[in-house]
Chains A and B, each alone.
Chain A
Amino acid sequence: MNEAASKVLERVFLKLGNLHKPIYPVMMIAAVKGICRPAFTMMDKTEEPETKRYTALREGLTEIIAIPTYFACGKVSASLANLFPAKMRGNAATNLMFMGVCAAALFAIPALCSVAIKPIMDVLHKKKSPQPQMQPILLSGTVKPTKFPVKYYNNFHSLNTFSSRMPDTYRLNNRIGGV
């Protein structure tokens, strides 16, 4: 390998190798899971596109919730080390952070997910689903017009169109030639 590249890599490795805090690996795992799992789900050809999108979104959201939860639980529990005597503080901070991470994995993340994911998914799903459009009623031909109670009148006699026409009673009683 190139000398300069090797030097850069050495510096990077020395820095990364000193990340001993328990929150870093779990946060990194959650971040990679948040990218890879939805990607794998979307690549699945056996599922329907809508189901795939829903599952991928759900998986992504779970990991998005997990990252800050790990961080917050770890940091908050590590801050409790200030209550310890100065001699023990260093070890106590690391151990408490580890306990916080375990508590987050066991209780905090499942609880937060069950509370937060459903409303978020509902909002996102509503936004994504197409709005019902106005149907062109007259052109569609499929929509039946509303039926109102219609009363039919035999208003034939009242029509002025045939004003010169003799009334039926007159015609029946005064038949020409008695026929």
Chain B
Amino acid sequence: MLGAITSAIANPHLTKVAENTITQVGIETTLKAIGRPTAILIDNDISADTKEYAAAKEFLYQATCLVTYLFLIVPVFKKGGFKLAKNVLFKNHPEFQKFENAKEFEYYTKLAKKSVADRKLTLQKEKVKDKYHPDVRKDLETNEKPEKYPLISSTIGVFNLLGSVLGLAVLAPQVSHAFIHPALRLIGLEEKNKKHSEKAEHSNKVDTKA
């Protein structure tokens, strides 16, 4: 039992997930999207209507942040970052001249982890037949441990980090704020809440006059 737990905690697949900024931030935001509304719903000090409204709002905020982050910010920063590095920041660097885009490099890193025989088989497929630079192809077909291209992987890592920080702290909240109120109105929670607050206001007025 203890052995199973320790091996689960030290799982190398989980380590890969934990070391990747995108998956890590994605998982964390998913947990927030589930955990925070649950915490609001459990709270007994708030009225049922307010709880429902606050939980829905929190869930929508986190969910839209996650969707914006995964489908808008990550691709833009990954593709754009690689292009910027290749054409402007490290224009004459030999590492960047061997790859067309970030996707090609990512596929290369996947291939590099396989055995030489497997790599040869994969490289003969139609999809990747004329894909790689001759030097890269030769390296994959002959070397047991092919080149790692640290600058390219670092550049992708840096732009992932930059995208995560700017995206989650600045861009995603703006998008989600624009989306939340129409969505809440569509569900019917915004109107309900308005009526509730109007009721409260009305009762307050009556109380003050009395």
A residues neighboring B (CB under 8 Å)? 1, 6, 9-10, 13-14, 16-20, 22, 24-26, 28-29, 32-33, 36-37, 84-85, 88-92, 94-99, 101-102, 105-107, 110
Please count how many residues in chain B sit with their CB below 8 Å of the partner chain's CB atoms: 42
* B9 part of interface (Cβ distance < 8 Å): yes
- Beta-carbon nearest neighbor of A103 in chain B: B31
B91 surroundings in chain A (CB, below 8 A): 1, 6
- Cβ contact within 8 Å between B28 and A110: no
- Enumerate 12 A-B pairs (CB-CB under 8 Å) in ascending A order: A6-B91, A13-B154, A13-B155, A13-B158, A16-B154, A18-B157, A28-B164, A91-B14, A95-B10, A95-B15, A99-B9, A102-B31
Nearest CB of chain B from residue A178's CB, rounded to whole Å: 70
- Cβ contact within 8 Å between B19 and A102: no
A90 surroundings in chain B (CB, below 8 A): 15
B175 surroundings in chain A (CB, below 8 A): none
A102 surroundings in chain B (CB, below 8 A): 27-28, 31
Nearest CB of chain B from residue A13's CB, rounded to whole Å: 5
Nearest CB of chain B from residue A52's CB, rounded to whole Å: 16
- Cβ contact within 8 Å between B25 and A29: yes
- Cβ contact within 8 Å between A17 and B6: no
* B183 part of interface (Cβ distance < 8 Å): no
Interface string of B8-29 (1 = CB under 8 A from A): 0111101101110100110110
In angstroms, Cα B62 to Cα A105, docked, is: 13
**Looking at the complex, which one of B12, B93, B168 makes contact with A29 (CB distance below 8 Å)?**
B168
**Looking at the complex, which one of B11, B88, B158 makes contact with A16 (CB distance below 8 Å)?**
B158
- Cβ contact within 8 Å between A98 and B157: no
* B128 part of interface (Cβ distance < 8 Å): no
In angstroms, Cα B110 to Cα A69, docked, is: 35
B residues neighboring A (CB under 8 Å)? 6-7, 9-12, 14-15, 17-19, 21, 24-25, 27-28, 31-32, 35-36, 39, 88-91, 93, 150-151, 153-158, 161, 164-166, 168-170, 173
B151 surroundings in chain A (CB, below 8 A): 10, 13-14
- Beta-carbon nearest neighbor of B24 in chain A: A22
- Cβ contact within 8 Å between B161 and A19: yes
- Cβ contact within 8 Å between B6 and A88: yes
In angstroms, Cα B161 to Cα A28, docked, is: 9
- Cβ contact within 8 Å between B31 and A91: no
B32 surroundings in chain A (CB, below 8 A): 105-106
B28 surroundings in chain A (CB, below 8 A): 26, 101-102, 105
B157 surroundings in chain A (CB, below 8 A): 16-20
- Cβ contact within 8 Å between A91 and B35: no
- Cβ contact within 8 Å between B166 and A32: yes
A89 surroundings in chain B (CB, below 8 A): 10
B17 surroundings in chain A (CB, below 8 A): 98
Q: Could you say which of B9, B14, B93, B150 has the most chain A C-beta atoms within 10 Å of its C-beta?
A: B9
- Beta-carbon nearest neighbor of B19 in chain A: A20
- Cβ contact within 8 Å between B15 and A94: yes
